[in-house]
Amino acid sequence: MANAKSDPNYKIIAENRRARYDYAIEDDLECGIMLQGSEVKSLRQNSSNIAESYASVEDGELWLINSYIAPYEQAKTWGHEERRKRKLLVSRKELSRLWNATQRQGMTLVPLVMYFNHKGVVKLKIGIAKGKKNQDKRETEAKRDWQRQKARLLRHGD
C-alpha cells in the first residue's frame, strides 16, 4: 500500500471510521463488489456512505446491506436504487470462513473502507469484528489520549 498513494487510479471512496471505535476488529478481508454502471460513475464522483451498512452471509452468498450510493444524475431512466443489497465477491473458502465466524463465533462483518484499487476496480475491505462494550470504548479512548499526551511530552521535552 506504500506505492498506492502515488498511483493515480488508487482512490478512497468511503471510509467507516466509526467501525474501529464501535468494534474490535479481529481480521480484515478485501473483496470485490458487483455494481451497476451508474453506481460506478456515481462513486467516481465521491458520493457514497458505508457508515450504517453491514455485510451478511445469506444463502451461500455474501451481501453488503444498507450501503448508500447517490443516484447518478445523467442516468435518470436507467439509474440504480440508492440502498439496494449489493453482492460481494469472495472465494468459497473465504465465504465458509466468514459464515463460521458470524454464525458460530458471534462475530459481525463490518465494512471498513471502499476504494478504487490500482487497476481502477472498486474494492471493499470488510472487518471481522466483535462489538465493544462501553467500558472497552473508554479504555481504548484512554489509551489513545495517553499516546497523544506521551507524544506531546516527548515533542516539547518536558
DSSP secondary structure of 11-45: EEEEE-TTHHHHEEEEEEEEEEE---HHHHHHHHT
| Mean pLDDT score, 51-72 | 88
Quickly tell me which residue has 439509474 as its cell. Answer: 79
pLDDT of residue 91: 92
pLDDT of residue 48: 85
| Mean pLDDT score, 29-34 | 92
Give the single-character DSSP code of 114. E
Entry pTM: 0.77
Residues above pLDDT 90, as percent of the chain:
15
The per-residue pLDDT for range 109-140, each reduced to its tens digit, is 999 999 998 988 999 999 998 887 777 788 88
pLDDT of residue 72: 81
pLDDT of residue 30: 93
Give the number of other Cβ atoms within 10 Å of residue 80's Cβ.
20
Give the number of other Cβ atoms within 10 Å of residue 57's Cβ.
19
Strand partners, 29: 126
pLDDT band at 158 (very low <50, low <70, confident <90, very high): low
As a whole number of angstroms, the distance between CA 22 and CA 19 comes to 5
The per-residue pLDDT for range 136-154, each reduced to its tens digit, is 788 888 888 899 998 988 8
pLDDT band at 89 (very low <50, low <70, confident <90, very high): very high
